[in-house]
Every structure is written in structure tokens, then in C-alpha cells.
Amino acid sequence: MLRATLKSLLARKLRLVLSGLAVVLGVMFVSGTFVLTDTLNRTFDSLFSDVYSATDVSVSAKPKVEVSEFEGEQVAAPLPAAAIDKIKSQAGVRAAVGRIDVDGARVIGSDGKVLTSMGPPRLGANWTGVDAVMDMREGRGPEAPGEIAVNATTAELAGYRIGDSVPVLTQQPKREFTLVGIWGYSGDRDSIGGTQEVAFTTPVAQELMLGEKDVFTSVTVEAADGVSPAQLRDQLAPALGADYVVKTGDDLAEDSSASIKEGLGFFNQILLGFAGIALFVGIFIILNTFSIVVAQRTRELALLRAIGASRRQVINSVLVEAVVVGLIASVLGLAAGVGAGAGLASLFSSLGGGGLDLAPVGVPPAAIISSFLVGLVVTVVAAVMPALRASRIAPVAAMQDVATPDRPLTRISVAGTVVTAAGAAALGVGLFTDAGDADLWLIFGGVLVTFVGVALLTPLISRPVVSLLGRLFSWSVPGRLGRLNSGRNPRRTAITAAALMVGIALVTGVTVVMDSAKSSLKTEAASILKSQIMISGDQNGPRPPTFDPAVIQKTDQIPGVRAAAAMYNDLVAVGGDQEYVTATEDLAILGQAYGTTAATLRDDQIAVSGPQATDSGWQVGSTVTIQASRGEQHTYTVSSIFAENTLPGSIIMPGAAIKDFGITQPTFGFVRLDDGVPVSAVLPQVKALLADSPEVSATDQETWVNAQAAQFDQIITMIQILLGLAILIAVLGVINTLALSVLERTRELGLLRAVGLGRAQTMRMVTVEAVVISVFGALLGVAVGAGMGSAVARALEDDGISQIVLPWGRMGTYLGLAALVGVVAAVAPAIRAARLNILNAIAHD
């Protein structure tokens, strides 16, 4: 008797461990996110205070267009050399040095490939000597126009030594320099934070990085003895006027890390969102476990009630268990989260080139508080329903057999219908009406509520679907028994399947949206885009890849080419708004190359797309004042309004505007051939012209469109990874349910084994049950996801999703994977079932 009691207690413990694991994983995700962002925040704090440690005060010109870290790169306005003299003449200034520091100096390595960067900038600078934190490793600074020095990181990545000839891409086409020096930083560092740096002589830096003589991006000012940086800043600012920004080194460090932190904060929220999904799934699992525990304790609880325990006491007895599980899971989750956060942080730094000196991993209060909050709330919320059910157990149940009563599904199904309808309604309102900021919450809430509603409906759906699914396996006795078992407890099967549904539905939904976008893009490209050859490159850092504009002129000369046009981009200020604009030398040619008729723009004209004109309230003849990244602002007249997507971009500026762009080289090229000229006759020649622009390549239209479409696949992959944990938790649920089935049906298993069911057959029976449950969950997920995805895609019609595509192939894959998941989840319970000692099993109660 004692043995039996201990055994069943242990069995329950195992189950609590399994469902506790669901909470542990969710909490790990949450606390890991906080630990990761905290570590990175402190890393960047120390990085930037390092970068600016040698700077007392820095003066720069007020930027023309304010850009946050989020939107792109801040283009510094040029600061005239005359300003340096003015600064030098101020009181409290010991020295002032004009500096040029612009992202976009891309070294072509000894292997002929451009050095890439996943985050840190690739700075082109002027050589101003060795400062306090620098240390010259080899050679000297550049003295002649043909010389450069690079930091040790760049030298190592590119594989160059002193004396080598180094090709560099800048705002100008490729140029070769002789490497005369390599420097590092104090503390034996090759760079600060993995930044690649190339130093030219000042005039060369001005020409290549700024495109103007005698200008700088900033002036570093050294304070005279007895003057603090803050004092100097406060003196300089009024003296220089509102066109200049004066900051101390500390200010700059703070600003830089603040803007990075903004980006990290966003990243943090996304991760927390996925952690939330994982926890949501965890709730299902825990709910299931506690329901089962209560069902198993029915007699015990009824006895308690019979001898006078109050309902409240019964509820408490369940909730206390939940609190204990929640607390333990929180502690473990927090610990695992610290590990995961540390791991991810080091992954992050190695992805960024390994140059980032990670701050020591710490445990921020947010991680601790959220871990306990989340762990407890999730567990207790999940246990409330089972606890209430426990309190409704009648005392007479103590005297009755513990058959699991087959309660009718009417109430739960009606509730499910209502909740699903409410969720779908919220989703619909969020997607299709304009409720401002509430939209996102409506969509988010709608999705969650819909999931809960479908989960409530699942027991009802499970009967026909599970029996239909099970038919697939009914050809063998174990298969038929497995099918029957999976239909035995519709609620439990339903919750287990619903947990899996959530992850699969989200993945499917995203896949539907992405595939719809992809195929819309392809259709559109096929119907509008007439260019047969595209010139472009993959952007994998903040700066888009660019190429030499001369390539376009030379391409135009190739026989068989009808038109070739380049496209330039900039982020500009229009009134108070920021807009992404396109420019081209001659719009008429771009039109020809792209496949539409357009007139050449005069220097004071712009063309805008229909939706842009509607949004901004412009008509033909409206005047628009635009401030590009550099130069003065100009006023333009809208000369024409073109149909959406018939030209690349929504605001097209004339060629004269390009010189004021942050990046003055083209990012895209479109080439259209004369009728009847095969692509293969021209493509190799265009490729040859791009030899000096290795960041980009020329491709035929189909390859290009496919490459664009591939970006959507990347998003899908990312979402799949992020939802992986939610799906893993659902798998734990399947294992949990099966382990329980095996335990509950011990006697049956014994009987089956006694009348001749073999071990392998027993395992097959358990596996079929698992596969049926998993595939059922996946089927629900695929259906719900396809519905939600279609709704979202439809709502995005205005944003270019012109058709809805259901990814049958991928949906099939998800179902197949679910079947596999079932098989995997069944392994342990199946082995346990097969190993049962027949006699013990028969005697089991």
C-alpha cells in the first residue's frame, strides 16, 4: 500500500516536473532576454566611453536630417575648415583638430572580396596622429595621397601587410593605396568594438568620404589646463551658434549608447513577445497537468470534503501546489536564463566580428522580478480552473468508482464559439479599420483570444477529426488501439493538441503572409518590370552596397542595350517628416529601363507615386521643400504623378539632387535590352564592367526576383526559430499526456501484454496515439494559421500584397514534422509501456 502510494506520488512528481519544465523554458526565455540586453547595454556603454575617452569636447555641424539608429545612418553635415580657426581662437582651447569619420570606407581584401560588417561601421578617416588610446603597431601614418593606414582588425580581416597595395571603395569608385601603417589600441586591442578603420591623408579623406574640399565631420577640441570639458562645452556652444553641436566626450558616449539602447530595446520587446507566446503555450500544458492531478485525486479530495474540508480549503490545496511548482520553475528558469543570456551575448559579439569586449554577465533586477512574476502568474492562472473543478467534487465521489466522467461538451463548445467569434472580430477590427494605436493591440489580443476560443472548441472538433485521422492507422491492431486511446479523453487530447496548434498556427500565418508577399512581388515584377538585367548587392550592414555610376554609362554603350539607368537613395526631411527618396540622372531613361514612360525631370521637379501624393496631399504643380542629407534645402514642383510600382520608389528626385545625398553612389541599376537581344549576350559584359564594384553583381531578372523573394524566406526561418521554443513546450505537453496515458492505463497494458500484444506492438500503439494527437494539433494550427495569415495578407493589400497564396508545400511539411514530433514524443512513454512488468501492471490500481 505504502509502496503504491509512494509510487503514484512519484509518478505525479514526474508529471509536475514535466509541466514545470514548460514554465522553466518560458521563464528562461524571459530572463534570458533581460540578461542579454542588460549585458549588451553595459557592453556598449563601456565601448562608447572607450571610443570617446580621449575626447574632451567635440564640435560638429548640426545634421541636416536627424536620423535615429533605427532608421539608418546619421549623415554628418560638413563642417568648414574656417570653423576650426574660429574654435582655436576661443578661450580655454588648447588645441582643435579637424576630423573626418564617415562610414563607407570598404576595403577589398586580398581575396578580392569586400570586407563585410554585420554592425560595426567601416570608417574612412583622416590621419591626425596617434592619440592617447592608440598605439602604432607597424609603420607610420599616411603622408602622401596614395598612402593609407588601417587598424589591426582591418589588416587582419583583409590579409594585408605593410607595403601591400590595398583597393578601397568610398563615395568614389575603387582606388588603390599603399598600406604604410597599422595601428591598434591600448590594452592590446585590434579595434574598438570591431570597427574597421582606414585613415587617409586629410585632403584625400575629404575628397573620398565627403566629396568636398576643406570640410570635416567634426572638430576634436582639447581643453586648456584648468578647464573642464563641461566648462569648455558651455563656453563654446554660445560662441559658435545654433548651427553647431558641441558635446563633451561623455555626452557623446552617452548619446551613442542611448541610440544603440533604443535599438536593443526594440529587440528586447520582440524577444519578450516570443517568450510570451511560449508561456501562453505553457499555460495549456500546466492546465492539463493540474486537471489530471485533480482527476487523479478525486477520491482523496472527496474524502477531505466528506470529513469537513471547505471548498476554499480544497481550492487552496491545489493552488498551493501550483505556487510551489511556479516558484521552483521560476528559480530554475532564472538560472537557465542567465546561462542562455550569456550564451546569446557571446554569440552576438562573435557575429559582430568578435571585436566586442563583452561586459561581465550580470543579473538585472528586471530579470529576477519578471522571472518570479511570470513563473508564478502563469502557473497559478493555469491552476485556477482545475482548482475550481476540484472544489466542486461532491463528497459522495469518495464512495464511487473513479471513472473519469464524460462530461458533455455543450457548454465548453458554446463558450468556444463565442470566444472564437470575439477574437476573430477583434482581429478583423484591428486589421481592417483604422483605430490608430489600438490596432496593434486589437490584432495581438484578437489572435490570442482566437487561440483560446479554438482551444475551447477543440474537444468538439477532436472527436470526428481524431477518429478520421486514426483511420489512417487502423489497419493494424496496435494502430486501432492507439486511435481509440487518443479519442478517449477529448479534453486532454484537445488541450495537448491546442498547445501545439498555437506555435504551428503562428508559423503558418507568417508563412502565408510571406508567401503571399513573395508571389505578389513576383507577379508584379513579371507584369511591370521590363528590365532584363539588374545591378544590386545584398545589404548586410547599415550601409547599402553601391557601385561606380560609370558602369551605367558604359553599359549603355553595349550593343543591344536599349536603356540603362541607376538609382540613388537618401533619407530626406520633407517638412517635419522623413521620407525615403529615389533619384536618377534622367527619369525618362529610368522609365525606359524599368518599363514605363516618364518625362525627364528638370532640376527643380520631382515625380511622386499616386499613394504618396494622396498621403501628402500633393497634386501636380504642388511645391515641396526637401532637405537632403547634405547641402541646403531646395524647393521642388511636383511635375507628374505615376501609378504605384510603375517606377521604383514613391518620391523621385532629379539627378541634380544626388550630390547632396548621404551616399552619392547608386545602389541599383536597371538595364533593358533591345527586343530580341538575349540576356546572355549582354550580361557577361555588364558583369565585366562591375569588376571594380565587388559589392554588387549583375543578374538576370528572374534571379534577381528570386533573390528578393528569398528575403521573405529568411523572415520565415527567423520566425520558425523564435517559435521553436513554443513548439518545444508543446512537445513536452505531448510527452506529458502520453506518459500519463501509459500510467493510467497500466492495467490495460498489462492485460494486452498478457493476451499476446508484443513489445513492439505496444510501442506502436503508444506512438500512434502520439502521432494522432500531434497531427491533429498541427492540422488545427495549419487551418487557424492559414485563416489568420490570409486575413493579415488581405489587410496588407494596400501595402503591395495583391494576392493570397496558401503554401501547401510548407503546410504539408509542418504536418509531416508534427507526425515526427509525435513519434519522438512517444519514445520515452512507449518504452515505458513496453517494459511494463505484466503482473505488476495487472495488479496496479
Handedness of CA 587, 592, 594, 595 (dihedral sign): positive
CB of 435 to other proteins, least distance (A): 50
Instruction: Work out whether 463 is an interface residue with other proteins (CB under 8 A).
Output: no
- Separation CA 799–CA 431 (nearest Å): 13
Residue range at the interface with other proteins (CB under 8 A); choices 121-129, 180-188, 747-755, 784-792: 747-755
Other Cβ atoms closer than 10 A to 832: 18
Instruction: Work out whether 755 is an interface residue with other proteins (CB under 8 A).
Output: yes
- Separation CA 234–CA 228 (nearest Å): 10
Single out the residue of 324, 550, 599, 839 in contact with other proteins (rule: CB under 8 A): 839
Nearer to other proteins, 41 or 485 (CB): 485
Single out the residue of 753, 763, 786, 811 in contact with other proteins (rule: CB under 8 A): 753
Contacts of 280 (CB under 8 A, 6+ apart): 448, 451, 502, 726
DSSP E strand stretches across 31-88: 57-61, 79-80
Single out the residue of 481, 499, 730, 795 in contact with other proteins (rule: CB under 8 A): 481
Residue range at the interface with other proteins (CB under 8 A); choices 156-164, 343-351, 461-469, 836-844: 836-844
CB of 839 to other proteins, least distance (A): 6
Instruction: Work out whether 754 is an interface residue with other proteins (CB under 8 A).
Output: yes
Give the rounded distance of the alpha carbon of 517 from its chain centre.
18
Binding mask 346-385 for other proteins (x = CB under 8 A): ----------------------------------------
CB of 410 to other proteins, least distance (A): 21
CB of 361 to other proteins, least distance (A): 51
Closest CA relative to residue 501, chosen from 434, 451, 445, 446: 451
C-alpha cell at 442: 486589437
Residue range at the interface with other proteins (CB under 8 A); choices 71-79, 204-212, 353-361, 477-485: 477-485
Angle (CA) 650-544-355 rounded to 5° is 145
Residue range at the interface with other proteins (CB under 8 A); choices 246-254, 445-453, 479-487, 778-786: 479-487
Residue range at the interface with other proteins (CB under 8 A); choices 90-98, 152-160, 748-756, 809-817: 748-756
Binding mask 699-738 for other proteins (x = CB under 8 A): ----------------------------------------
Closest CA relative to residue 813, chosen from 675, 720, 711: 720
Nearer to other proteins, 132 or 755 (CB): 755
Nearer to other proteins, 270 or 477 (CB): 477
Instruction: Work out whether 761 is an interface residue with other proteins (CB under 8 A).
Output: yes
Nearer to other proteins, 462 or 665 (CB): 462
State the SS3 of 762-788. HHHHHHHHHHHHHHHHHHHHHHHHHHH
Closest CA relative to residue 325, chosen from 274, 367, 378, 272: 378
Instruction: Work out whether 484 is an interface residue with other proteins (CB under 8 A).
Output: yes
CB of 747 to other proteins, least distance (A): 5
Nearer to other proteins, 307 or 403 (CB): 403
Cell numbers 459522495 correspond to: 396
Tell me the C-alpha to C-alpha distance, in Å, between residue 77 and each of 71, 73, 582, 658.
Answer: 17, 12, 20, 15
User: Which pairs with CB-CB distance under 8 Å and at least 24 residues apart come from 14-18?
Assistant: 14/739, 15/289, 15/292, 15/293, 15/736, 15/739, 15/740, 16/289, 16/293, 16/321, 16/325, 18/289, 18/732, 18/735, 18/736, 18/739
- Separation CA 154–CA 156 (nearest Å): 5
Nearer to other proteins, 17 or 842 (CB): 842
Helix (H, G, I), strand (E, B) or coil at 135: strand
Binding mask 193-222 for other proteins (x = CB under 8 A): ------------------------------
CB of 16 to other proteins, least distance (A): 27
- What torsion, rounded to 10 degrees, do the Cα atoms 643, 647, 649, 650 define? -30
Nearer to other proteins, 132 or 403 (CB): 403
Nearer to other proteins, 118 or 839 (CB): 839
Instruction: Work out whether 468 is an interface residue with other proteins (CB under 8 A).
Output: no
Cell numbers 550569456 correspond to: 342
Helix (H, G, I), strand (E, B) or coil at 227: coil
Nearer to other proteins, 194 or 479 (CB): 479
C-alpha cell at 247: 558635446
DSSP E strand stretches across 633-744: 634-642, 651-653, 668-673, 697-700
Residue range at the interface with other proteins (CB under 8 A); choices 155-163, 512-520, 649-657, 746-754: 746-754
C-alpha cell at 567: 538609382
**In this structure, which amino acid lies at residue 435?**
A
Single out the residue of 360, 365, 756, 809 in contact with other proteins (rule: CB under 8 A): 756
Nearer to other proteins, 273 or 464 (CB): 464
Instruction: Work out whether 488 is an interface residue with other proteins (CB under 8 A).
Output: yes
What number of residues does the chain have?
845
Instruction: Work out whether 297 is an interface residue with other proteins (CB under 8 A).
Output: no
Total residues interacting with other proteins, rule: CB under 8 A: 21
Give the rounded distance of the alpha carbon of 633 from its chain centre.
36
Nearer to other proteins, 219 or 763 (CB): 763
CB of 826 to other proteins, least distance (A): 18
Instruction: Work out whether 469 is an interface residue with other proteins (CB under 8 A).
Output: no
Nearer to other proteins, 229 or 750 (CB): 750
Contacts of 424 (CB under 8 A, 6+ apart): 446, 450, 453
Nearer to other proteins, 349 or 741 (CB): 741
Residue range at the interface with other proteins (CB under 8 A); choices 162-170, 189-197, 436-444, 758-766: 758-766
Site for other proteins in 378-437 (CB under 8 A): 403
DSSP H/E element including 709? helix 701-744
Phi, psi of 152 (to 5 degrees): -65, -35
Instruction: Work out whether 842 is an interface residue with other proteins (CB under 8 A).
Output: yes
Instruction: Work out whether 764 is an interface residue with other proteins (CB under 8 A).
Output: no
What is the residue-wise DSSP string for 145-187? TTEEEEEHHHHHHHT--TT-EEEEESSSSPEEEEEEEEEEETT
Single out the residue of 747, 794, 803, 806 in contact with other proteins (rule: CB under 8 A): 747
Single out the residue of 212, 234, 644, 748 in contact with other proteins (rule: CB under 8 A): 748
Site for other proteins in 643-682 (CB under 8 A): none
Phi, psi of 516 (to 5 degrees): -65, -45
Instruction: Work out whether 758 is an interface residue with other proteins (CB under 8 A).
Output: yes
Nearer to other proteins, 24 or 740 (CB): 740
User: Where along the sequence are the contacts to other proteins (CB under 8 A)?
Assistant: 403, 477, 481, 484-485, 488, 747-748, 751-759, 761, 838-839, 842
